[in-house]
Amino acid sequence: MPRLNEFVFLHAASRTLIVADLVFNFDVNGQHLLGKLFLKLNGLYGRVGCSRIFRRFIKNRAAFRASIAELPQWGFDRIVLGHGRIVAADARHVLAQAL
């Protein structure tokens, strides 16, 4: 992702994966109409996911898949996101579904 240069971090002591723009987890409750529309158009309404905007920046899909294939092996239990609520349970499965 040459334009975004996304990184993810593992805080090993707390078994927490920290991401910025890789996945989003917005609560649809309390969202105004434009917010809900944005989430629906980006495939993020009511779910943890990678936005369509983010995916458009992926230039080499094979390299992207290879880099994220390692993540489940990192042994994290939760995800702290730059955009949305913390994923506090079943985080590796949630991330696999999101990507």
> What is the tens place of the pLDDT at every residue in 89-99?
999 999 998 88
pLDDT in the model for residue 67: 87
CA–CA gap between residue 42 and residue 38 (Å, rounded): 6
pLDDT in the model for residue 2: 58
pLDDT in the model for residue 78: 96
pLDDT in the model for residue 1: 54
Residues of the chain with pLDDT under 70: 1-3
pLDDT in the model for residue 3: 67
pLDDT in the model for residue 9: 94
- The secondary structure element, H or E, covering residue 38 is helix 33-41
